[in-house]
Structure 1
Amino acid sequence: MKPKMKPIVCALSLSLLLPATQARAAASAAQSSTEPPTVLRVRAEPAPQQQGMLDLARALAQAPETEANWLETNSDRSLTLYQPAIQAEPTGAIILLPDEHSHPDWPEDLHPLRLGLARHGWDTLAIALPRSQPDPLPPRTRPAAGTSAPDSAAASGAQPSGEASAALSTPVDATPQDTEIAPMELYAERVIRLCEAAIRHLQSRQRDYVIFLGTGTGATWAARCAREFQQSHLLGLALLNARQPGATAAPQLTQLLTELKLPVVDIYQASEGATEQARLRNNSARRAVLQSYHQRPLPAQLPADNGALLLREVRGRIQRYLMPMPIIRQDPDTPAEQPPGR
């Protein structure tokens, strides 16, 4: 008798629990229908470069005589490190542009240069360049599915629409928006605006002669800005371990050299790849008959001297080839002095 009671008890329990469970499910569904939909938080894109510049500005806040400021344009807010010259009347100012994989106080080159050149009569202003835009993704030439669109339409017997037919007949390399500005051109305009703001900042401190000094890929952008402002400002250009930017649409440094009408020094560490690129730059300068282009190789491995050799070489080339012409103010009633030996 007892074994037969267990199924009856279980059946009674289930019959009592099912209505309660169904009631709770209905109440939960009604509550969820009255609640507002959950808003997903927009995922913010990380900005490691901007965070790195903030950390660098904080680290240099207590550095002696270094002014960490933010240079602002319509599209960018860029960190600058200004180091005043230790001299009553500075020779001029040097704008330093870093490589795309470094920052304005990079220990291997920009740190010893911006401090060392300031000790020898130059104001220095190191600028963080904006983050470069990657090359756009190539257009898709095949459908995402394993079967192509024409095959699918043929299999189903459907005729493609007018828009689909036009898309199929359009060549892959066609560019329907030819009037749009390319991303690299926009990036070049951003760099030019930053350099223009830097020149204005230095002119506000009565620094009229400016040298653009670029390292790595920054050398290409230094040459691009020098070409932009060579007609309106008194400029010089120094290239250090010059490299071509990785973007395919970036300005070509060898072409920029042929368009410059100002003195240029080109200093590089002699490795296999760097020597070949330096040879191409030298050939371009010779074809353009640039009388004021001077190239100087350095050892592939520099000594561990905190940048002393690098500073000495860069300063020596600047002193020899990029010094501004002296402005002699003379009383018109006083005859000019004859140079010795004449």
Structure 2
Amino acid sequence: MKKIRPLLCASLALNCLATSTMTWAEEAGTAVPSTNDSDSLYASPQPQKSRLEALTSSLSIRRLDHQIQTLNADDTPFLALYKASETSSTQGCVILLHGDNQHPDWPDAIAPLRNALPQYSWCTFSIEVPDIIKRGQAINTTATADKEEGGEDTDNAQTPTEFELPDQAAIFARIQATIEQANAQDMTQLILLGYRTGASYALTFTAQNPDATRALALIDIDVPKQQNTDPVSEYELAQRIRRVNQPVLDYYVMRSGSEQFATWRQQAANQRVADNATYLQLDALPVPLSGEENKATLIQTVRGFLKQQTTQINQRNTLPSVEKGLFY
């Protein structure tokens, strides 16, 4: 018992000293270090920026940095990959939109088409599309719960025909800036091609700008989804095909749940009244658009569609003159 009392006294003395020190610091206006984690600064993750930096680095290593262009839309720069036609008789230019959380040289669909079409007299512009679902960000479940309990959000409620896709204005501005860049290079025959969610933007842009492009290609179209908000209606998105007067290629991968969406698109296309309202819907079989054989089929399908549905420049070359020899 005698040994415990000195230890207890020492402990009380230390506590008193710490308390008096804190009080003195507060009275003197000295900042006391805080251990609250919320006061610390954290770097916000930027996955799309890192993805594009890796892309440009890869292109530079492969000595393809001459394909990289920086365009501007609404005072905002964005990345575009340009590849010129590899023949002397350029048919026009194809503008490609990649899917969500991808990049302008995505290995499925986008890269094969942007690299192959120039061999068949088409230049290509593959442009950067902002991410819809931001990776690395916390999901706010409160808004979703409020909708489930209290019904739809009246502040953001839109009629079915007036809904907009996520970041629609910004993406449309980029498409328009790319069209102007192509026109500056005397490319008057322009094709808009979208892959996955990029196809939804390509469809909506064409429906709202009927004279901007000559044809539309939808590759495995997918409806954009947003965090904490209701998804875009597949039915209402399909109805926008009714307002497209240009020829349309609808090349999709049949998967579980996509049959009804494909049916709605076909029905909407059947209701078009334009004379040249060609609509070609093809099932790419239930396999992803990867693998050399599948990529070759995709390239051939798009190439055949463009050849049949656009104005083709006569590419026949005259036979070379031959000097007749002694033994002709």
SS at structure 1 position matched to 2:61: coil
Task: Please give the per-residue CA displacement for 1:43-87, whole angstroms capped at 9, x wherever unaligned.
Answer: 443221222122112111234545223333337543322111112
Summarize deviations over 1:184-240 as a string: whole Å, max 9, x none: 556111111111111122222222221001112211111111223323x34311111
- For residue 286 of structure 1, the aligned residue among 264, 267, 270 is 270
1:194 partnered with 2:200: no
Distance 1:288 1:57, change over 3 A: same
Cα pair distance change 1:283/1:85, threshold 3 Å: same
Structure 2: distance between partners of 1:219 and 1:199: 17
Q: Which residue of 2 aligns with 1:312?
A: 300
Deviation at 1:292, TM superposition (A): 2.2
CA contact (8 A) 2:165 2:224 kept: no
TM-score normalized by structure 1?
Answer: 0.70
Aligned to 1:80: 80
Residue 90 of structure 2 is matched in structure 1 by 90
Taking a change above 3 Å as real, the CA distance of residues 199 and 250 of structure 1, as seen in their structure-2 partners, is: farther
Paired residue secondary structure (1:60) = helix
Deviation at 1:112, TM superposition (A): 0.9
| SS in structure 2 at match of 1:123 | strand
Counterpart residue type for residue 95 of structure 2: I
- Give the superposition deviation at 1:130: 1.1
Residue 255 (structure 1) aligns with: 239
Greater shift, 84-93 or 64-73, is seen at 64-73
Tell me the secondary structure at the aligned position of residue 80 of structure 1.
strand
Unaligned runs of 5+ in 1: 1-5, 144-170, 328-342
Cα distance between partner residues in 2 of 1:15 and 1:275 = 80
1:313-332 alignment to 2 at 5 Å? 313-321=301-309, 323-324=310-311
**Residues 37 and 256 (structure 1 numbering): CA distance in 2 closer, same or farther, change over 3 Å?**
farther
Report the CA distance between 1:20 and its aligned residue.
Answer: 7.3
Is the CA contact 1:133–1:187 (under 8 Å) kept in the aligned structure 2?
Answer: no
Distance 1:36 1:242, change over 3 A: same
Matches within 5 A, 1:1-342: 7=2, 22-23=16-17, 25-31=19-25, 33=27, 34-36=29-31, 40-65=39-64, 67-74=67-74, 77-132=77-132, 137-138=143-144, 140=146, 175=154, 184=164, 187-231=167-211, 233-247=212-226, 248-249=231-232, 252-271=236-255, 273-290=257-274, 291-301=277-287, 304-305=291-292, 307-321=295-309, 323-324=310-311
Equivalenced residues, count? 290
| Identity %, equivalent residues | 21
- Structure 2 unaligned residues grouped into runs of 5+: 315-328
> Which region of structure 1 is more displaced relative to structure 2, 90-99 or 246-255?
246-255
Q: Secondary structure at the match of 1:99?
A: coil
> How far apart are the structure 2 equivalents of 1:280 and 1:17?
78
Distance 1:177 1:226 in 2: 25
Task: Provide TM-score, normalisation by structure 2.
Answer: 0.73
Q: 1:29 to 1:98 in 2, by over 3 A?
A: same
Distance 1:229 1:176, change over 3 A: closer
| CA distance, structure 2, for counterparts of residue 43 and residue 183 of structure 1 | 35
Q: Give the AA of the match of 2:74.
A: N
Instruction: Say whether the 8 Å CA contact 1:71–1:79 is kept in structure 2.
Output: yes
- TM-aligned CA deviation for residue 309 of structure 1: 2.2
Q: 1:260 to 1:128 in 2, by over 3 A?
A: same
Give me the whole-angstrom Cα distance separating, in 1, the residues matched to 2:6 and 2:190.
Answer: 95
> Could you tell me how far apart the structure 2 residues matched to 1:270 and 1:173 are?
31
Give the whole-Å Cα distance in 1 for the aligned partners of 2:239 and 2:8: 86
Shift of 1:21: 6.2
